[in-house]
């Protein structure tokens, strides 16, 4: 292992105790023969310690703690704290779901996901951008919703939609494209045949629309065929957002909490779409 490899790929993780046993052996072997890196290791650990000591936890003021406990009391008193067995009934009361059957393009897509998984597992040629089933799910629904979006989450406030998503163990994060001129129109939650939830959040602006789709990742990896000039705009942590020009749509793929992926789709030209996403990214 050379000096730079150790500094860039091992040093921090070693100080944080995040190396595997094999990696740790390699790192220690390098340190044993490299006095410069031993100094860097000591400095790295000192910075970590300094940060932990100086950026110490603040004590919550008693009045703030008191108001939180009072708010919890109020929730208990109102009986609003949910219990799991009440979930379905509460969802009804909250009016989150319309009675109407979901008009959402799912079953064929999930079959396509299975095909995709089969291809990956059996070492077929890597799928090209024209054959990525989750994108097909997203763009088919986008094509439909762009004409007419019918929310089944009754509220269109971000907090309520986030609550509804969390209630279904979907990621609680909602994209906010406000500063790019898009308004949050609404959201809907449906189920795919395996019972897992799929969620759609729809945004409309003067210059176009964006659909965010959350679905279970089923372990899929970003496909090849990424739009190269867009990845350069990920100033930090390249690899979080993957951009594709896919069947005439601009598409962005990212991973989310709880094993979900997020697929953003728009008719916007790729360079404008990338700006929308980069400016709004968390």
Q: Does 100 bind other proteins (CB under 8 A)?
A: no
Q: Does 226 bind other proteins (CB under 8 A)?
A: no
State the nearest-atom distance from the C-beta of 122 to other proteins, in Å: 26
Give dist(CA 223, CA 137) in Å, integer. 15
Contacts of 10 (CB under 8 A, 6+ apart): 1, 19, 23, 26, 27, 30
The nearer residue to other proteins, 29 or 76, going by C-beta atoms, is 76
Give dist(CA 278, CA 81) in Å, integer. 37
The nearer residue to other proteins, 50 or 111, going by C-beta atoms, is 50
Q: Using the rule CB under 8 A, which residue among 106, 173, 185, 197 binds other proteins?
A: 173
Please state the separation of Cα 102 from the chain's center in Å: 23
Q: Which residues pair with 252 in a beta bridge?
A: 243, 264
Looking at 102-110, 165-173, 243-251, 263-271, which segment touches other proteins (CB under 8 A)?
Answer: 165-173
**What is the total count of residues that contact other proteins (CB under 8 A)?**
63
Burial of 253 (0-12, 13-18, 19+ CB in 10 A): buried
State the nearest-atom distance from the C-beta of 257 to other proteins, in Å: 6
Q: Which residues pair with 213 in a beta bridge?
A: 200, 263
State the nearest-atom distance from the C-beta of 221 to other proteins, in Å: 11
CA atoms within 13 A on the CB side of 279: 12
State the nearest-atom distance from the C-beta of 262 to other proteins, in Å: 9
Q: Does 221 bind other proteins (CB under 8 A)?
A: no
Q: Does 39 bind other proteins (CB under 8 A)?
A: no
Residue 124 to residues 26, 108, 117, 121, 128, Cα–Cα distance (Å): 34, 21, 10, 8, 11
DSSP letter, residue 89: H
Give dist(CA 161, CA 157) in Å, integer. 6
Site for other proteins in 116-145 (CB under 8 A): none
Element at 223 (helix H, strand E): none
State the nearest-atom distance from the C-beta of 6 to other proteins, in Å: 11
Site for other proteins in 52-91 (CB under 8 A): 52-60, 64-65, 67-68, 71-72, 75-76, 79-85
Residue 281 to residues 94, 126, 177, Cα–Cα distance (Å): 30, 29, 9
State the nearest-atom distance from the C-beta of 170 to other proteins, in Å: 11
Give dist(CA 217, CA 215) in Å, integer. 6
State the nearest-atom distance from the C-beta of 233 to other proteins, in Å: 12
State the nearest-atom distance from the C-beta of 60 to other proteins, in Å: 4
Q: Does 189 bind other proteins (CB under 8 A)?
A: no
The nearer residue to other proteins, 46 or 108, going by C-beta atoms, is 46
Site residues, other proteins (CB under 8 A): 8-9, 11-13, 16, 18, 42-44, 46-60, 64-65, 67-68, 71-72, 75-76, 79-85, 158-159, 162-163, 166-167, 169, 171-174, 176, 178-179, 235-237, 239-240, 255-257, 282
């Amino acid at each position: 292992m050379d000096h730079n490899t150790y500094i860039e790929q091992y040093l921090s993780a070693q100080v944080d105790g995040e190396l595997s046993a094999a990696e740790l052996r390699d790192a220690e072997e390098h340190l044993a023969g490299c006095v410069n890196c031993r100094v860097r290791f000591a400095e790295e650990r000192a910075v970590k310690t300094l940060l932990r000591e100086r950026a110490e936890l603040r004590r919550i003021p008693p009045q703030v703690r008191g108001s939180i406990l009072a708010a919890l009391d109020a929730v208990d008193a109102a009986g609003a704290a949910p219990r799991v067995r009440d979930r379905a009934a509460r969802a009804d009361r909250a009016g989150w779901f319309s009675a109407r059957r979901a008009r959402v393009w799912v079953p064929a897509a999930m079959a396509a996901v299975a095909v995709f998984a089969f291809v990956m597992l059996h070492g077929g040629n890597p799928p090209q951008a024209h054959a990525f089933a989750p994108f097909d799910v997203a763009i088919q629904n986008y094509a439909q919703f762009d004409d007419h979006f019918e929310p089944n989450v009754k509220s269109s406030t971000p907090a309520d939609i986030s609550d509804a998503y969390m209630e279904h163990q979907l990621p609680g994060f909602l994209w906010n494209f406000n500063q790019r001129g898009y308004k949050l129109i609404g959201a809907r939650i449906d189920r795919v045949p395996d019972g897992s939830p799929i969620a759609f959040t729809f945004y409309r602006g003067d210059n176009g629309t964006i659909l965010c789709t959350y679905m279970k990742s089923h372990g899929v990896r970003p496909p090849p065929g990424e739009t190269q000039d867009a990845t350069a705009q990920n100033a930090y942590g390249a690899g979080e957002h993957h951009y594709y020009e896919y069947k005439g749509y601009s598409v962005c793929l990212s991973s989310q909490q709880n094993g979900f992926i997020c697929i953003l789709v728009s008719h916007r030209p790729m360079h404008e779409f990338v700006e929308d996403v980069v400016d709004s990214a968390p």
